[in-house]
Amino acid sequence: MRYIPTTKEQKEEMLKEIGVSSFEDLIESVPQSLRLKEDSAVVVCTIRALKMHGGAIKVVAGKPLDQETLGRENLEAVAKGCENLEKQIENVTVFGVPAVIVINRFTTDTPAEIELVKERALAAGATAAVTHEVWAKGGEGGIELAEAVVEATKKPNHFHYLYPLDMSIKEKIETITTKIYGAEGVDYARLAEKKIKLFTEVGFDKLPMCMAKTHLSLFLPQLYAIR
């Protein structure tokens, strides 16, 4: 049994758990009469997460984060981490949907760090870049974000799928990996070749594809020998 979201509330809940590419893949086969086309997409980021992407601290599973280091202004790490954010913006716009970037603001974020992220986001193609402090100010802290989303939905929308369903399994894999994950190519293990052959023979090759990957391969390829 597959879970197919058909209401805005269900879509919002699913988007909290998966990336934009996987989301589109999961609901691509929904009949057009039921499909809710995206008017815009909101990409949420934090300054501290961008610092970690930029190498400000070493993140080790099971160990507390270095809050003191994360709380200090570090424009160099934020700038480096913005490379990851820029790729997320690209992944949204490749579907033809306006992207709104929202910074979930912490009390330790400095004006210079916030301004840097906004500048990089807009330069990367985001429709708007704003902050929100709903956690601290309630609804008042989200007004700027709400207004930005409303404005984004008024802009031209050229939504389209990443690939046609009649593509082969390998063509779909290579489209996703090159356009979404930034890979140069794909190598297939022997077991993967067998599975692809089997799925093609039974007709699964005409279905949309949902791909899972490690999030680390996007910004730390040297750790996983991914090129």
How does residue 226 score in pLDDT terms, banded at 50, 70 and 90? very low
> Of 107, 146, 106, which is closest to residue 128 (Cα–Cα)?
146
Q: What's the one-letter identity of residue 130?
A: V
Tokens 């700038």 found at: 79
pLDDT above 90 as % of the chain = 58
| DSSP state for residue 168 in the 8-state scheme | -
Structure tokens, 185:
């190519």
CB atoms within 10 A of CB 74: 22
* Spatial contact of 71 and 41, defined as CB atoms under 8 Å apart: no
For residues 125 and 55, state if they share a domain.
yes
- Judge if pTM exceeds 0.85: no
Domain presence at residue 85 = yes
For residues 75 and 138, state if they share a domain.
yes
Domain presence at residue 31 = no
Find the distance separating the first CA and the last CA of the chain, reported in whole Å.
Answer: 36
**CATH number of the domain residue 89 falls in:** 3.40.50.300
| Residue pLDDT, tens place only, 59-69 | 888 889 899 99
Into how many domains does the chain fold? 2
Range of 66's domain? Answer: 38-153
